[in-house]
């Protein structure tokens, strides 16, 4: 039975580690009938390590539908927020929440009704984040406790699982985390881009280099290096909705151009499937 490797990716760390064991990785890769890589860079790395048969098919993540949402929950949250300016810090890590708090305080000096939503990468850290926000004088609420969004709520921690579809739809401005923190590598910006958000991110996005390169080069995202730049970018986009809409459209179009991996994969594996179906029992 042929062995195929689909949606193959090789990170900087894995590539450098496998280079220390060239005979082992070459022996492993030689047993794979066909490798379908996510990108040209992944294909080049796998070829350098000894992969005999490889094609670039694209990343299947681009073809995934946006996360779902509960319509009643969305309506309830929109009613609670009303016309307040709101932004989302998604998939944040411990070193980033302080930057998010600082950015909130800076923007709230101009927009006192600002609502910041923080969806940490690890939901169990909700209480810790709420305590940090309260220590800076912010009125924090926790989704996990079913805390309501009152008019004076300024910091809402989305510390639940499976609700990113809700929070991405609540804000047209999304900072995608793991890009400013010590835990670098970035998180996936595809979902907010597909759901109509202007994307902000830090410089450390190596794990999703291709999509960030595509979105950044299309002027569909804003790079920020620290809390001050994050605050400046937020205020600029809140003050200029037309500019935010341009970023939103550019990001969605850039991600759309990267779609098609599913068809490429199915076309590549079809001959192997037909061969298996035609084999005698």
Number of alpha carbons in the 13 Å side-chain half-sphere of residue 88: 30
208 pLDDT higher than 80: yes
183 pLDDT higher than 70: no
CA atoms of 15 and 225, how far apart (whole Å): 27
CA atoms of 238 and 83, how far apart (whole Å): 12
Q: Could you tell me the pTM of the whole model?
A: 0.88
Q: Reading across the β-sheet that carries 173-176, which strands appear in turn?
A: 140-142, 155-157, 115-120, 86-92, 173-176, 198-201, 221-223
CB 64 within 8 A of CB 51: no
CA atoms of 206 and 210, how far apart (whole Å): 9
Quick: pLDDT tens for 129-150.
999 999 999 999 999 999 999 9
Residue 100: pLDDT band by 50, 70, 90 thresholds? very high
Superfamily for domain range 71-257 = Glycogen Phosphorylase B; (3.40.50.2000)
Based on the number of CB atoms within 10 Å of its own CB, is 94 exposed (0-12), middle (13-18) or buried (19 or more)?
Answer: middle
CB 173 within 8 A of CB 238: yes
CB 260 within 8 A of CB 63: yes
The residue with greater pLDDT, 280 or 272, is: 272
CB 2 within 8 A of CB 33: yes
Domain boundaries of the chain, sorted by first residue = 4-58+260-278, 71-257
């Amino acid at each position: 039975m042929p062995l195929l490797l689909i949606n193959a990716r090789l990170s900087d760390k894995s590539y450098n580690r496998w280079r220390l064991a060239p005979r082992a990785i070459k022996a492993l890769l030689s047993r794979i009938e066909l490798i379908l890589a996510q990108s040209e860079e992944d294909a080049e790395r796998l070829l350098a390590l000894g992969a005999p048969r490889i094609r670039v098919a694209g990343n299947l993540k681009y073809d995934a539908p946006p996360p779902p949402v509960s319509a009643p929950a969305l309506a309830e949250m929109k009613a609670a927020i009303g016309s307040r300016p709101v932004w989302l810090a998604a998939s944040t890590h411990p070193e980033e929440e302080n930057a998010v708090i600082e950015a909130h305080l800076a923007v709230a000096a101009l927009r006192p009704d600002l609502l910041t939503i923080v969806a940490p990468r690890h939901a169990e850290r909700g209480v810790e984040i709420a305590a940090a926000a309260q220590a800076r004088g912010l009125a924090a609420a926790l989704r996990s406790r079913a805390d309501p969004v009152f008019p004076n709520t300024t910091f809402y921690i989305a510390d639940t699982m499976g609700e990113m579809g809700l929070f991405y739809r609540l804000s047209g401005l999304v900072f995608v985390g793991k890009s400013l923190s010590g835990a670098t590598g970035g998180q996936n910006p595809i979902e907010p881009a597909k759901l109509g958000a202007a994307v902000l991110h830090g410089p450390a996005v190596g794990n999703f280099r291709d999509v960030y390169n595509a979105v950044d080069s299309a002027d569909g995202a804003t790079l920020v290096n620290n809390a001050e730049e994050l605050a400046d970018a937020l205020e600029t986009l809140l003050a200029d909705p037309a500019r935010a809409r341009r970023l939103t459209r550019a990001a969605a179009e850039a991600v759309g151009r990267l779609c098609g991996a599913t068809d490429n994969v199915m076309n590549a594996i079809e001959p192997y499937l037909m061969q298996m179906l035609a084999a005698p029992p």
